Structure 1
């Protein structure tokens, strides 16, 4: 499928005052997960099976070589992508993936120099400990903040949920490191005996959405609940977000996980979905193409099969508006294009890279 705009002929009015259209940039992608737009306008797309593609405006695609060994099973594989804030001068590409090893697998983060269709100078800068069995709940999003610190989100690996409340491991945590993996001296648990020094916050279940709130510079995330209880959270250094001692969800069987939706010393979520929409991917829209959406929080939904626009008043969510729900697509990742359009990756065996544009915008 050519990458140049293939119009699907969809005109959907999400609000009375505007219309938008969807353009297909690529299809035939195998469960695409990570997405970044290069300064050149080309796109990098990672497929969960462990393939990294470079897509050009003329419709061509090239496989990028040089990835490390990874486990592609269940929710694991090649996960998120991120560019170094100074990518134009250093060519550092960051990626998270499920790394095999003793005990099973775990989320790892590496960086490498992107040179045309090759990765070189590979450095593994973070390894989740411990590795565990199973193929679920790897996280994983990579976000640089305005100071150049890298946030890494993880999952608690599903069968190890109680470890999310302990500081001697990386499961169910958000980690904060320098761009080369070194631990910042002001991380909250760096002086805590037996705690992993990379930990920024804990008590998380499975975080697949993260973004920096533009006005405040603070990290916001969303995470999967079990049967109900998906959450949006504003992240504070050293804070405990409760899982599994606090949740609005239930076991998939219907059983009770916790009697508590609030406990002293644990952070309450900013927003909760019951039933679950299975959120994945998020961004604060700042572009000019959709002025009515500026400063909204956009969230993809897998089980919910839609794009969700959350309206904000400062750091409060004031409303929820479904978009693209008539398409029935699982939205894995979203990113704001340099021109203000919105890229969307669909999670399916014949996955697509889509672009949301206003009607009349080429």
Structure 2
């Protein structure tokens, strides 16, 4: 009887804790203090964007085109490797080396069919741009094995303050095998040197069979990643199933739980897991119920947006707005809707000029201009 009562108490405590965590922070309506300026149109699904030192913007189009945008003119960059643009796959993120002016490297992730198996998997390359074409293309990483599944490729790229390169690959629809097994690609955050070499202090270096590029695991489909401007920590967000999209702060070697623990259910309403917490698995900093289908994220450091400064911007594919996630250090304290009904926001970035830029499906790249 005593053992039974203790067990009941244990589950009551767990349930109470979960209920507290599930208490939603109300999404506040937007306060319009800005206008939109079209930087470039005519890009159907602009998936990622990054700036070159001359002020031009590199924009990936999911179908497989890399554009360089300057003065409202978009120029296709030739010699992009073959992209398997099917389902959620395509030409995904783009990043510029933090010391670009000296080394000249840009980085791309995309769904690739290279390998012996049918289908595709996420591939990371670096290259240089010469005469409006990619040159010196080098593969840094390729997920294996290929699969014909057309979803959960990830994928974002971020450099930290020490110059390490982080990128994400989704679970490719294979769970729990991929995200919970460090011997398999998928459902991971990876860390490399800028040339693709594996850092000697990565958490799974030297473990037989492990993917030594893995930095954290137990992820579902991370399509947002950003470097915190003060702490230098890597933050991600990832798509949950039906409910349970998450914001996470990435820790070395940590397990973020998917699909053993989740705050969501499957799309048909069935239960994926009865567990929301488990020892040895990280809890999200925040999760959304219902899902917003987050894509792209950026910390605001610009003085152009005093009410947004110090907070986080996240795009919503499902509800077609931009969300301001208000922070008190590493705690979410509020949410505010921005750019209501703007469209499916794929990426959000703060440019070198301090302005916030959105990539929006069917519209191209927009700049948020504060009203004076």
State the TM-score, normalized to the length of structure 2. Answer: 0.90
Segments ≥4 residues shifted beyond 3 Å:
none
Ranges in structure 1 where 5+ consecutive residues have no aligned partner: 1-12
For the 8 Å contact 2:176–2:260, the answer to whether it is kept is: no
Question: Which structure has the highest strand share of the two?
Answer: 1
Q: Could you report, residue by residue, the CA deviation over 1:134-184 in whole angstroms, capped at 9, with x for unpaired residues?
A: 110000000000000000111000134432100111210000000011000
- Equivalent residue, structure 2, for 1:131: 146
For 2:201 and 2:215, locate their aligned partners in 1 and report how far apart those are by CA, in whole Å: 10
Ranges in structure 2 where 5+ consecutive residues have no aligned partner: 1-28
For 2:134 and 2:43, locate their aligned partners in 1 and report how far apart those are by CA, in whole Å: 21
Secondary structure of 2:87's aligned partner: coil
Higher alpha-carbon Rg: 2
Work out which of the residue numbers 73, 77, 85 in structure 1 matches 2:90. Answer: 77
Does the alignment pair 1:247 with 2:253? no
- Equivalent residue, structure 1, for 2:26: none
Q: Could you report, residue by residue, the CA deviation over 1:188-234 in whole angstroms, capped at 9, with x for unpaired residues?
A: 11022211100100000000000011111110000000111100001
Does the alignment pair 1:19 with 2:27? no
Superposed CA RMSD in Å reads 1.3
Work out which of the residue numbers 45, 49, 61 in structure 2 matches 1:35. Answer: 49
For the 8 Å contact 2:191–2:199, the answer to whether it is kept is: yes
Work out which of the residue numbers 268, 277, 280 in structure 2 matches 1:265. Answer: 280
Work out which of the residue numbers 220, 231, 234 in structure 1 matches 2:249. Answer: 234
Work out which of the residue numbers 352, 356, 362 in structure 1 matches 2:364. Answer: 352
For 1:116 and 1:213, locate their aligned partners in 2 and report how far apart those are by CA, in whole Å: 35
For 2:259 and 2:33, locate their aligned partners in 1 and report how far apart those are by CA, in whole Å: 42
The size of the alignment, in residue pairs, is: 342
For 1:68 and 1:295, locate their aligned partners in 2 and report how far apart those are by CA, in whole Å: 38
Q: Could you report, residue by residue, the CA deviation over 1:263-310 in whole angstroms, capped at 9, with x for unpaired residues?
A: 110000010101100000001111121122111011011002111111
For 2:175 and 2:277, locate their aligned partners in 1 and report how far apart those are by CA, in whole Å: 22
Counterparts in 2 of 1:139-218, with a 5 A limit? Answer: 139-218=154-233
For 2:312 and 2:188, locate their aligned partners in 1 and report how far apart those are by CA, in whole Å: 22
- Equivalent residue, structure 2, for 1:7: none
Secondary structure of 2:178's aligned partner: helix
Pairwise CA distance, 1:14: 3.6
Does the alignment pair 1:341 with 2:350? no
State the TM-score, normalized to the length of structure 1. Answer: 0.92
